Structure 1
Amino acid sequence: MYLDERSELILSDILVENKIHTEELKEKYNISLRQLMYSVEKINTYLTEKRAETITKNRMGELYVSIKSRKLLDQWLKEINSQSYVPSELERSQLITFMVITIEEELSLQHFVSELKVSKNTILSDLKIVKENLKKYSCELKYTRLKGYFIKGNEFEIRKILIELVNLILNIPYGKYMVERITKVTNGELQKVTDWLEAIERDLKISYTDDKMETTPYTVALIYRRIEFGHYIQEDDMIFQELSDTKEYAFAERLLSSIGKVPRQERFFITLQLLSTNLVGESVLSENQMQKMNQAVKEVILKFENRACIMFQDRDRLVQMLVQHMKPAYYRIKYNLTLTTNLLDLVKIEMIEEELQEIYLLLKQCMEPIERLVECKIPEIEMQFITMFVASWFRKEGQKLVEKPRALVVCPNGITVSKVMHSSLKVLFPEFDFLKSISVREFEEMDDSTYDLIFSPVRLNTTKKIFIVEPVITVSDKKTLRKKVLENVYGIKMVDYDVDEVYKIMKKHVKSGISFNQEKNIKRELKNYFSIKIDDNVEQKNDCEDINLTDLIHQNYIQIKKQVSSWKEAMEIVAQPLLDYGHVTPEYVDRVIRQYNDLSIHIIFGGKIAVPHGMPDFGVNELGMSMLVINDPVKFGGLDVHVFMMLAPEDEKRHLKAMLQMTSLAADENGIRRLVEANDKKEIIEVLKQYQ
């Protein structure tokens, strides 16, 4: 007996969700309860034939199968579907390249047709994509009658392609079975590498992520095959001095001694794989390198605080955690081993959805200390990872409450991704007490009485409530996830209200005008009233994305003076509009001025614009910014300063876009000149608008 397509999909949903309500399935497939139960009946007949336990419906209307049956069915479905799965054009090009790298026998067009189950014309089209993709690595796809298809290029670059493809293909549906079918890699080969990794964990006191424990055996086994076939990297491609004094290299030497003679550069390459792998614990740099890394990261954070006009409350802890992320990243960056995997694609989506460009652009201006250390520019994808890391720090939870459900985050990915996921969920669900994020292997050894529910990107064998989430949760998924979780845990039915529409109705009956900041505050209070509080991160737009320089600096907040007697007088003058309109208290102004001295050059942007500011808890009532333009510059920090802007930050995020625009203005000498030469406030506003 065979299942129809809808029945297969329903069975897969039940397996993925552990338990799924009939109403959810009805809505998803747009079918009636009778049609749904007819499919369930067909599935149960099918399961009986397979000698598996059937689907059960409980009193809550949820459908589920036992853990034992779920594991059996999951394995069986993957094996069957891997043979019937039709790869996309991109996936076919990746699989063709993978075949050419990993198969030593002569490969013809027919081999690709047979494996991918498409026509010759389709394969010919795919080969054009393969050739184009290989150009990025300065490699070429060649064909001769004697050798068939092969890749001509530097072996180091070919290894990079292989490592990337292993990660990509293993993330394709049923990719594991495709890799094993194509390469015919044996369980013995994979187990040998797994034994190596476990020995490294034990002897070096480190812990690989579940993801790397899954992918590294395939990567190393296939690299070793290339070594056996005589495909060696050149010694010039490796920098031996940095790696030779690490204990990873010493351990790799011991491991590789059991497989015969291997060239020195290959031993170093294996060491490099260990050093650049994502770890749950720590990777190793020399003591001297570690000191330099700590100092570089600290300088980056201090620069970011100055440029963003914020101050992290637990800066030392942030530096410590960022250093831990940068240890394996150091080798990825230095040897250009950064990979483009599905997970990193999710990070790119998050960068767009969460509007993190303000943090990203400010942070990018601060990376020179780390770039100096690694002697190259930080790759784009690593910059995005670092941005996500710093952004997650903005979202840190404050004081914990007791008697909350205990939530566990189980993530098979690296420490950086798991912490981003953990921080995002803590913000999204303030109702829960989140325990630390752990790996799948740690979860399997954990006492289930210590937690109440689980968030994870993978299915787990558990009787507790589990919610499947992506490692990086996009904005569009957050509301859906929150609604689903609260209904499941508390039985709360959430109703969505359009706050903008409610505000439009209210605004019709307000006689006097409402300022930009008042409008934002009203909308925020309406949102809190209409629903259980959801962090601002769940909204479709962040508040900060709408706040430009001219939203904060109106004409009434601008002053023009021919000259002032000192920088202190300039600060007192620029603060006055913020005091007059109630943005800050007199204590705020006093504390801000007192924290600077004649050498406070760090708050001067571009050598021309000084931005004095304090913390929100210094006495800020409402976000605001004021501006003073001085025709004759005043000496401050040893520089001639024409412009003072005082910032009153309401929090650590909402002013970031305006600060980014101000940074662009400060870097433009022509813009500064136009400000100084402006005849009135309207001209100044027009100048500011050009940087928005």
Structure 2
Amino acid sequence: MNDRNIAILTEIIKHPDIKSKKIEAKLHLTRRQLSYSIDQINTELSNDNLPTLQRTPLGTILVSAEIINYFLKDKINGKQKNVYHTEQERCMIIILYILTANIPLSLINIYHLLGVSQATAAKDMRNVRILVSKYHLELQNSWQNGYLIDGNEPQQRFLINETISNLERYDDSHELIANLSDISIDEMIHFVRQVEQQVGISYSDNAFNHLVYSLLINISRNRANKTANDNYFLNQIADTKEFSVISKLVNPDWVACQSDIEWISILFLSANTIRGKFSFSDYTILKAIKEMVSSFEQKTLVQIQNHEEFEQRLLAHLRPAVYRVKYGLHLNDINTSQILIKDSQYEFLAASIRKIISPLEQITGKKFPENEVKLIVFYFGGDLENAKNLSIIKPKAAVVCTNGVIVSKLMFQNLVHLFPEIAFLSATSVRDFETFSDDYDLVFTTVPLKTNAKQYIIQPIVSPEDAIKLRYRVLNEFGLKNIETTLDKIIQIVRKHVNSIDVTGLKGDLKQWLSTEQQTYSIQKELPDLSDYIAPQLMCLLDKKVDWQDALEIAAEPLIRSGIVNQKYLNTILKNTESEKNYSFLGSQIAIPHTTAENGILNDGFGFTVLKHAVKFPTGQSISIIVPIAICDTKKHLRAIEQLTSIASDAKLIHQIISASDTETIYQLIKKKEKETAIDAN
């Protein structure tokens, strides 16, 4: 199924009431294109002995429960046609899988990895064969060795590089790549940070992340003994500082030969840097840059104010470009789109750069491709005032949360939105963080940690008021923004023009505004609401005293009765809740017992049990609301979790829910809160 058809079917499954016109507008389709795609979808559904999509006079498209179950229950029956991975994405995952697997791979391995049908996997393999042939490689399959990609080793490494670059356009790419390796992300982050520190350079945020995941795949290939020729990249960059440092730092289990070390080094050398200390071996590049700057001034009559500083800054940016062009590596996105260049100005600069780029092309022995020329135009553009913003190194942060995977993911995402000035690298465990704590400048954590990094101990769920206070505190303490100085200057200006002002009140309002400046909150409008998962038949109102075990059983019973979970789910959450270290809570009064899909989850749904008499849990918390959560994919439920979090932080609403006399009233209170949250977000 192609990308367009997948997108259409996904929209219909997510939004059963969506009308054809809205699909056309959202996906930029004509009526004819939509009709053609639906015909194609119906053909494929018929081939799989499934009911077809049916149009209604109201403009909606009916999709049967059988189709929804088939497409969304891949973790149960393993037969799903993957709605959330396009053909291109699946092909890229397969390529990385074949290039790194340490066992013979059959078609069974492929379709189990992707959760697709055997027919779909076979079609994907035909696409993979075509794709790898563009790199002068061949997809082979034999009974003894399974699927292999055969051909020149550097070409296979180039294929890895471009596959990861293209895969990173997808939201779940990092998770998919990580699942192909048994090396921890924290260990790889630590390795990149060590190289940064010992070489004396700093990578851009995008380059840092790309490095981590490229290394993960390349090292996995080394460990799988896939390389036929040990001298595939020998003595090409062994004279660089990166090679010298990496040779000492690299884990011996990660490499099998010097070429492996050199290839790891070229990944570092070609990654975008924003500043660094460079060695004498870089003099040739610096000399070429000096020639370019001189020619640029002569041809454009633009005067560069500080030549030495400007040339050093260009060296930091163009040194990786030289290695990329010389060795044919892919340029990753550096977000040059954030700089607005008028067409006429851009063309003027681009034409000038093309005339002066020859000194760099003499070094590489190759013509610079257009995307690399655009990068150079960007750095030369204007007075480089805007480009200097890219040289700002963001502090690197970790998130440590002991409240389980759902709350941990939510906490990480909320902090990313709250602090755009900070580069959040990972959500990690206490043990892993304390092992690699030197790799981070600060950490947001739910428990005190043994670390020299600046730590902020916070609740997993932070109210809007507390979020503002946290942002204000972090920005000031970490030196990211001096709000107090800004406030004082504003007050001085206002005093000149106003006879009488409430300084305390004005300062408070300004403080809130300044601390939330540049904040962006992402509301996932396309995801289901909380009320979509809390159906009235899954709710319960209990007006008798019980212990926590009975309360959990009562809360889970509607889910079991509805076929959403089985007894294994109940047994698992009972066992997890016994621990005094269990942190499956939102706020002070809501418990959210949950587990992973393999522990008895058959479908999606949230229970919602209100206890008129609070129950004391093993952790000592008095709980009045229990929301047992059963989900197969936490990404699809983020909006619902955010809305549940909003309820947990609303003391007045919690009181109304506990005081309600029936479940219908509670359900309507939840719906009302959803609407209020949507209005606030807008």
TM-score (norm 2): 0.44
Rg bigger for which structure? 1
